[in-house]
Amino acid sequence: MRRFAKGFTLIELLVVIAIIAILAAILFPVFAQAREKGRQAVCLSNMKQFTLGMLMYVQDYDEYFPSQDPDPSRPQLMDDLWLFVIVPYIKTPPADWASTRANIYVCPSNPNLQLVSNTVVQQALQFWGWDLAREFRLTRHPDGRWKWHCSYAINDSIIGETGLGLTALAAWQRPAEEYLFMESTFDTDVDSNDVDLEDDEIFMLHSSGMNTAFVDGHVKWIRDARVPTDSSQFDGQGTPVYYSSSSRAFSPWRPNYRF
């Protein structure tokens, strides 16, 4: 008498499919989180490299950060071009500034493309004698602007935009608490008026936070603690007010400068 192997019933097959679907629903978010943690680690490593490059620059220039032109009648370019200034101190600078591959100025989760007017590049040549386009083999966007990737922003006080005389390393009394670089959604410099939810200038998608580099050179992840708006940070003229007391600092990255 022939025996036939018993197959799956429709109910059993549906149960197996349901179990697989449940497992997938549980595991896929875990995989996505693990992938984002990996990107966050790469971003942290990149930030550490160019932060050390900046601090080496500071040591070579009498402990001063690269700053805006002291002559107010001349163009102020450092907020756009700080990343090029520290290239000599970086072991593996980008070979192709318009690419995200092997580019330490790129966060894998935020490959932000900067588009800068031709005027900036021409002014760098005219006032600094620096042919950026040729030296770094920059390329143009179809709209005529120059393009390069940068996912990070420098503290605008570092480069002297606030006029508070903070371009000297010695001016920072709490270097482990004051930010040097942070992650940005579109800009290459940022001040205390740009870090609230209303402006949305800060990239906060690394596990609901971002990587931040501090003036003393350490780099770490911080949690998103932005407030909706920060009108109290303005002095009525649209310029930033830098508090001298950390008790008035609403977020971990708020400037707490002391004089």
Residue that has been written with the tokens 């390069």 in this structure = 148
Tell me how far apart the alpha carbons of residues 7 and 129 are, in angstroms, rounded to a whole number. Answer: 80
Q: What is the mean pLDDT of the chain?
A: 81
In whole angstroms, what is the distance from residue 108 CA to residue 87 CA?
Answer: 20
CA distance 112 to 105: 9
Residue 62: the pLDDT is 94
Closest CA to 201 of 184, 224, 222: 184
Q: Is residue 69 very low, low, confident or very high in pLDDT (cuts 50, 70, 90)?
A: confident
What is the mean pLDDT of the segment spanning 105-114? 94
- Percentage of the chain exceeding pLDDT 70: 76
Pairwise pLDDT comparison (180 vs 174), residue with the higher score: 180
Measured distance CA(132)–CA(89) in Å, rounded: 17
CA distances from 127 to 71, 73, 114 (A): 11, 12, 22
The 10s digit of each residue's pLDDT in 5-53 is 566 677 877 888 888 888 777 766 666 677 888 899 999 999 999 999 9
Is residue 176 scored above 90 in pLDDT? no
Over 80: is that where the pLDDT of 230 sits? no
Determine contact, residues 39/111, Cβ cutoff 8 Å: no
**Model pLDDT, residue 257:** 39
Nearest alpha carbon to residue 139 among 87, 98, 93? 98
At a CB cut-off of 8 Å and minimum separation 6, what does 222 contact? 209, 210, 211, 212, 252, 253
Token pair for 235 = 């002095």
Strand ranges in 31-94 using DSSP code E only, listed in sequence order: none
